[in-house]
Structure 1
Amino acid sequence: MSTPLSTDALTTTNGPRAGLREWGALVVLMLPVLLVSVDNTVLNFALPAISEALRPTGVQLLWMIDVYPLVLAGLLVPMGSLGDRFGRRRLLLIGATGFGIVSALAAFAPDVSALIAARALLGVFGAMLMPSTLSLLRSVFVDREQRRLAIAVWASGFAGGSALGPIVGGILLEHFWWGSVFLLAVPVLVPLVILVPLLVPESRDPAPGPIDPISIVLSLTTMLPIVYAIKSVASHGFAVDSVVGVVIGLASGFAFVRRQLRASTPMLDMSLFRRGSFSGAVGVNLLSVTAFVGGLFFVSQHLQLVLGMSPLDAGLVLVPGLVVMIASGLLVVPIAKRVRPSIVIPVGLSISAVAYALVAVSGGQLTAVALALIFMGLGLGIGAAETVSNELIIATAPAEKAGAASAVSETAYELGAVLGTAVLGTILTASYRANVALPASLTDAQSAAAGETLGGAVSVAEQVPAEVGEALLASARDAFDSGVGVAAWIGSALIVAAMVVARTTLRKAR
């Protein structure tokens, strides 16, 4: 039988209030959050430089982005469970050290294959970081009112990292090679490794069960094949490999759930999902992040490769919206004390849905001003939704299972990041391939590069005569934007779905 939910998980304010040391611990625990979010955003803005330097194919480009959150999502639940058993602070320190070393290796990757492998290994160590930070907040901040504020600050770290990444990354990309963006991890991880033992107390499950290698394998074989199938279908339609991927993923998922229900000490307590406040909050995270990351994928490329902005200028365009995302996550805290989540979340997300609809109606002809307004809308809604939903997930779970519950929240986030790039990104790739017109004078190698990605077309345009390059760029940019409208409508539909989930499943949550 699964472990029953503790009755104190949903209490409002019944624990000792945090002091200076606890708030200092919060600052330290935000460092890995900033690191992971900066890593995601910086890579999006480094894509044009990487495309020109390493010449990846369209599939390689997507895998370079996807492999990190994919491995991360597959390992979050096992790592969260390991943190509950062996110590969340210990796992955080191991993950931080490994992440820093592999980031340095990624910076000097000699080819695309090595970079993809480094990104996969970053996912392994990143999976040790994220559940540990959120679950440690559960043990540090016992008072729920303070914990809600702490989680709002923690969640704002994602937006803060997203805002900081383009600016710092833009400066680096204008003065150094693309690999310099990966070295950003070093100055973040050094103070983390020093301060965590001083400020953050160790916490773990007092009665942990044994490690379950079979469940770990099943969690991976659930995630990997399904996301591969989605990418495959979006790229070139249904095929045998995509069908096999779905079958393997669903079968593994069924076996994983069945094993957890039968285990005396499951790796993931499935009874958590019987509560609407838990499962609904997880669903809101998944859908809203899928839309947000998918939008960031095509907007970052549009700003640089279509509008011709530098990485720094493109990053500055997005900053106002990301600042609004941080502010909304903090300002929703006093509102959430008085208004039900089933009202707060849908109202906030409605702004994001309208923002995506405006992109779709524009037909993909976006301007820098419109992009700034759009991301203000996206940030306002998603910032508030993430704060409320993450706090609900932590408050619903028993304290001893905080690591596993936090891992579920982070899994939804990272799976959303994978799906956002896989679904919206591959729609754009397919539309680009179908609509780009390649000049007849290009060589076979140039045609292959320009026909795969917009970044490849920009690189080829610099190698050919001016008039041929101009014609190629005009066609490539039109082809890229032809898929933006469709992708934006899908993003809007995802946000609306998140609103419906919040309204129907969180009615009893306070």
Structure 2
Amino acid sequence: MNTTTPGRATWREWLALAVMTLPLLMVATDMSVLFMALPAIAADLAPGSTQMLWVLHAGEFMGVSLVLTMGWLGSRVGRRRLLMAGVTVYGLASLVAAFAPTPEVLIAMRALMGAAAATMSPSVFGLLRVIFADSRQFSVAVAVVMSSFSGGMALGPPLGGVLLEHFSWGAVFLINVPVAALLLVAAALLLPGHREETEGSVDLPSVLLSMAAIISVVFGLQEIADRASAGSTVWPYLLPVAAGLVLGTLFVRRQLRLPDPLLDMRLFATPAFTVSLAALMLMLLAYGGADMLLVQYLQTDLGLSPAETGALMVVPALVSIASGLAAPLLTRWMRPSVAMGGGLLLAAVAGGALAFMAGRTGALALIAAATVMALALGPLFTLGMNLIMVSAPVSRAGSAAAMSDVAGGLGGAVSMALLGSMAAVVYRRGLDGAGLEEVPASALERAGESVGGAVGVADGLPADQAGPLLDAAFDAFTTAVRTGYAFGAVLLVATGLAVLWLLRRTRLDASQEGAEGASDTGAEGASSEDEGGRVPAAPGRS
């Protein structure tokens, strides 16, 4: 074990950290601002419904499918070099997307932006492991970077509103160009050109298997969510999900046989890595799609405008940023298991409160409960990512960060599919059982597609039909929202208890023993204690 004291970061390293917040801030802002631009894009380019879905999802599909490959590639070509290449492509693709003349061009550029975005998280977190050897400073750095992503998600809606009020929809893409240019200059000056001394070429079958498996699962789950919300048949889309699971199994078996795998499966032998990864995925599964339900509820059942809804939703987003930044302070007086597991249990209480209050209280009480949930879950992102990163050797830091992206993508996709399907089924059953015989069957069928559809249908009906239809639709959707939040609360209770138990002996070391030492021993930053004293959590791989 390397016993040298790791050097503390200087002003140059903290400036480098500021640079590394920009890529994730840019990508997160893009994710949330695109929703604001969709109506303008639809009016200008007139894409079909399928094309509009691909505008939304093409980047996500490409990003989540390539991130494992990019995590492996960063250790070969150099993480700064890979990051700068990704930022360059992202900026150029954004420039073309801003002036896209057809839906096909916009979809192609969104896919290219997703591929470029796949380079960013593995590169950034890999560089953090190299730059910040001191564990406390590393924890602060992770908190800052994770909060930059949350900040981008919160910044997107208000930024999109300002841009779309004064410019065309292309402005939401064009704003990436100066940010990318600034990032390239700053990265060249401040980021280290670190590259692992590794050999071996990329295993193309592994790349293809990982891409096909992830795209199949994410595509199938998102299509299930979309079809379920529209009341369409979903069973054909179970086939790509099943195919993806089979391909994923083949991918894992291949990684176990390769001497230099795309994903080192021995990372999963470390409890801190595996449990933290699972906790992040299950948390997103529980409530990744809940904001969608809450936003719809505020606008339909409570009658708030989009601007009022957006302003209210900024509050929990800002609290999430603050609590994520405060996470390193928590570990000074409690173990990660307590901070993470306790946060999950508190979030479950807030989710249960939301389930109870929906239909009984106003918007401010609901936002207060959502804010408590954001406060409770903010540290989970930071501490979970911290444990994931320090549980991996430096040479696998990019792959570890990539796995967190894959887990997040899968958790979000499953949440959208599961919560979306659950809400749609509950809503339609509630509407069907409301006894609306006086409403025309065609209108009732359209209203059953979504609560927004019911509002649109009611505008064209006589008052004696519109009133009962809206009342029934709002009651049915309230039940759907309650069901979604109650499901999430139950799942978070189980996840929180599991984290408290499985990580009870895991802590963040007072020292990471240096990046070089971590690369030799594996996971010295996250260690476990037993009756015989402290031992490394698991063997690593250099």
Residue 338 of structure 2: aligned partner: 343
Residue 397 of structure 1: aligned partner: 392
Q: Is the 8 A contact 1:283 1:501 kept in 2?
A: no
Question: Cα 1:316–1:338, aligned 2, differ >3 Å: closer, same or farther?
Answer: same
User: Does residue 1:497 correspond to 2:488, yes or no?
Assistant: no
My pick for the range that moved more, 236-245 or 274-283, is 236-245
Q: For residue 71 of structure 1, what is the amino acid of its counterpart?
A: M
My pick for the range that moved more, 101-110 or 253-262, is 101-110
Q: Is the 8 A contact 1:48 1:301 kept in 2?
A: no
- Superposed, 1:354-503 pairs within 5 Å as 354-363=349-358, 367-431=362-426, 452-453=449-450, 480-503=477-500
- Superposed, 1:52-63 pairs within 5 Å as none
Structure-1-length-normalised TM-score: 0.85
Q: Is the 8 A contact 1:70 1:414 kept in 2?
A: no
Q: 1:239, 1:222 → 2: CA distance?
A: 19
Q: For residue 400 of structure 1, what is the amino acid of its counterpart?
A: S
Q: Is the 8 A contact 1:71 1:124 kept in 2?
A: yes
- Superposed, 1:177-216 pairs within 5 Å as 178-216=169-207
- Going by fraction, where is helix more abundant, 1 or 2? 1
Shift of residue 274 of structure 1? 0.4
Question: Cα 1:49–1:364, aligned 2, differ >3 Å: closer, same or farther?
Answer: farther
Shift of residue 319 of structure 1? 2.3
Residue 119 of structure 2: aligned partner: 128
- Superposed, 1:61-76 pairs within 5 Å as 65-76=56-67
The C-alpha deviation readout for 1:49-93, integer Å capped at 9, x for no partner, is 667888888877766544433432222111111111112112212
My pick for the range that moved more, 368-377 or 65-74, is 65-74
Q: Is the 8 A contact 1:70 1:415 kept in 2?
A: no
Q: 2:70, 2:407 → 1: CA distance?
A: 15
Q: Is the 8 A contact 1:357 1:492 kept in 2?
A: yes
Residue 317 of structure 1: aligned partner: 312
Residue 256 of structure 1: aligned partner: 251
The C-alpha deviation readout for 1:468-496, integer Å capped at 9, x for no partner, is 99657666655544421222122223322
Q: For residue 416 of structure 1, what is the amino acid of its counterpart?
A: G
Shift of residue 192 of structure 1? 1.1
Shift of residue 459 of structure 1? 6.5
Question: Cα 1:151–1:494, aligned 2, differ >3 Å: closer, same or farther?
Answer: same
In structure 1, the residue corresponding to 2:141 is in which secondary structure? helix
In structure 2, the residue corresponding to 1:201 is in which secondary structure? coil
RMSD: 3.6
Q: Is the 8 A contact 2:336 2:383 kept in 1?
A: yes
Q: For residue 340 of structure 1, what is the amino acid of its counterpart?
A: R
Residue 171 of structure 1: aligned partner: 162
Q: For residue 158 of structure 1, what is the amino acid of its counterpart?
A: F
Structure number with bigger Rg: 2
Residue 265 of structure 1: aligned partner: 260
The C-alpha deviation readout for 1:427-451, integer Å capped at 9, x for no partner, is 344555666699999998x999866
Residue 3 of structure 1: aligned partner: none
Structure-2-length-normalised TM-score: 0.81
Q: 2:49, 2:57 → 1: CA distance?
A: 12
My pick for the range that moved more, 319-328 or 357-366, is 357-366
In structure 1, the residue corresponding to 2:193 is in which secondary structure? coil
Shift of residue 282 of structure 1? 0.6
- Equivalent pairs, count: 499
Shift of residue 158 of structure 1? 2.0
Residue 21 of structure 1: aligned partner: 12
Q: Is the 8 A contact 1:424 1:487 kept in 2?
A: yes
Shift of residue 501 of structure 1? 3.4
Structure 2: give runs of 5+ residues left out of the alignment: 508-542
Identify which of structures 1 and 2 has the higher relative contact order when contacts are C-alpha pairs closer than 8 Å and 6+ apart.
1
Q: For residue 350 of structure 2, what is the amino acid of its counterpart?
A: A
Q: Is the 8 A contact 1:44 1:300 kept in 2?
A: no
My pick for the range that moved more, 302-311 or 390-399, is 302-311
Residue 146 of structure 1: aligned partner: 137
My pick for the range that moved more, 122-131 or 275-284, is 122-131
Q: Is the 8 A contact 1:287 1:497 kept in 2?
A: no
Q: For residue 491 of structure 2, what is the amino acid of its counterpart?
A: L
The C-alpha deviation readout for 1:135-191, integer Å capped at 9, x for no partner, is 111111111111011101111112211222222223334455555434442343231
